[in-house]
Structures are given as C-alpha cells and as structure tokens.
Amino acid sequence: MGAGKRVVLVTGSSRGIGAETAKGFAKEGASLCITGLPSQKDELAEVAKVCKENGSPHVLEVAADLRKQEDMDLLMNETIKTFGQLDVLVNNAGIALFKDIEEYTSEDFDKVFSINVKAPIYLTKIARPYLSKTKGNIVNLCSVARETYARNFLVYGMSKISIAHLTKTIAAGFTKYGVRCNAVCPGVVETDIYEGAIPTDRMRKIIGYNITKLKGRLTTKSEVSDLIRFLASNKATMITGELVTIDGGRSLL
C-alpha cells in the first residue's frame, strides 16, 4: 500500500449510511473493503462501482453475515490479505427494531444484539492488532436512541447503550496502542432502515420522524458520512471516546 493511502473497512456498506460513507472515503482516495449480506451482492457491486468512479484505487467486496464469527474472520482476513493493513474500522451495520416489551420476541433480541453489539465487539477485537500498527481508529454507529426511553425503543435502545459503553471502554483501553475510538449518534436519518422498520404514522411521530428542529428536515446520509469521516481523519487526532450527536437538535426537544 502506497504512502498516505488509507485502508478503510465499512460494515453494512451495501446501502444507507454505510454506502454513503464508503463513497465519501473513496473521494479521499482511500482503498476500501465494503461488505453486506450475501443477498445484497448486487447492491454491493453497485456501491463498489461508484466508489471506483469516485477515486478509490481499490475496492474489495466481501459478502458476509455478521451474525457468524467465521464470516467476520473472513472479512478481516480478506482485508489484510488484499491490502496488508487497516487504518479505519467503521462499525456501521445495524438493525432497527421498534417494538415494546409485549411485542418483542427472544429471536428479535438475539438478532438485534448479534448485529448491533456482538459484531462490533468482535470486529474491534480482531482489528486491534492491525490498527495498532497504523495508529488507526474506529468509528461506531450509535444513536440518540441510547437516551430515548420510549417503550418502543427497548431492545434497539439497549443495543445502542451497549455501543456507547463499548466506544468509551475501547477508547480508554486502546490509548496505549495509539488507537482512537469514537461514535456517531444520529437521530432519524433518511435511510431505508427506518422506512422498513417503522410500521405506523403514530410510531413515526414517536421517534420524531415528522418532527425536526434546526433545519426543518431530517438529517441526511451525507451529513452523517461527513461526520464519520471527520472523526476518522487527521483533523480529529485528539478526539477519542466521544459520542457525537447529529440530529439537528431533535433530542433537545
């Protein structure tokens, strides 16, 4: 890998914030590993195409189910085998679930925590030796849901509280390696994850879908991507352990 060229791994990058983030890193000249479910290969290929057009010198596509440890091992091994290094890990992949305690099932809990919590913990663990060599950093996707105690946020909110704890714990523990760890905490963003997860108009209002503040609109994917890339950049070398909210002031209501 040439001098000054970063290698960035973005999970959940076949669509939404992950795809937008990968495209943004591509414009900065980063080499990329992008990943999504095996069923999302076509979407992943389209993201890879755009990343190459945006200027990425090399885009590796890896189909992986982050509920499976062997797939996460494959993801990391393929990244290192292809590029020889890792500079930034973006733990973006996540599942939104909005059910109250009467509605949720044990299977719901296992699925959400497997993707939203277990995967970032394991990927952070196996990425650490490589990030230590490059003095790289981690950006996690958290959420304002970590501080939103509505009944319908129960399992999803618990998973994001876990990511907040993970972020600060890893930031404290990894300073000795010269590795930073921060989290971006969006409110409601214009992505497919919310369109598919929010069943009713009432529910949309509960989570603030139709309630905005600063700009009179929802946060965009590109705005979240900009923040992720800032935290991963050399402009943020003294920032670690931070949970940065980006929601236009919605959580202040």
**Each residue's pLDDT tens digit, 107-120:** 999 999 999 999 99
**Structural domain contains residue 107:** yes
**Structural domain contains residue 1:** no
User: Which of 25-29, 85-89, 206-210, 245-249 is predicted with the least confidence, judged by mean pLDDT?
Assistant: 206-210
Nearest in space to 123 (alpha carbons), one of 89, 86, 160: 89
**Structural domain contains residue 218:** yes
Could you give the CA distance from residue 195 to residue 139 in angstroms, rounded to a whole number? 24
**Each residue's pLDDT tens digit, 119-151:** 999 999 999 999 999 999 999 999 998 888 878
Run of H or E residues at 181:
strand 180-186
**Each residue's pLDDT tens digit, 147-198:** 888 788 899 999 999 999 999 999 999 999 999 999 999 988 866 555 455 5
pLDDT for 236 equals 98
Contact 218, 246 (CB under 8 A): no
The model carries a pTM of 0.90
Could you give the CA distance from residue 105 to residue 193 in angstroms, rounded to a whole number? 20
Residue 150, CB half-sphere, CA atoms under 13 Å: how many?
A: 17
Q: How many domains does the chain have?
A: 1
39-45, Cβ contacts within 8 angstroms, sequence gap of 24 or more: 40/14, 40/15, 43/14, 43/15, 43/19, 44/13, 44/14
Tokens 């919590």 belong to which residue? 117
The Cα diameter of the chain in Å comes to: 55
pLDDT for 117 equals 98
**Structural domain contains residue 72:** yes
**Structural domain contains residue 143:** yes
What is the domain extent for residue 156? 7-252
Residues annotated as part of the active site: 156
Contact 141, 184 (CB under 8 A): yes
pLDDT confidence tier of residue 248, bands split at 50, 70 and 90: confident
**Structural domain contains residue 2:** no
CATH of the domain at 239: 3.40.50.720
Nearest in space to 154 (alpha carbons), one of 193, 206, 202, 211: 206
pLDDT confidence tier of residue 201, bands split at 50, 70 and 90: low
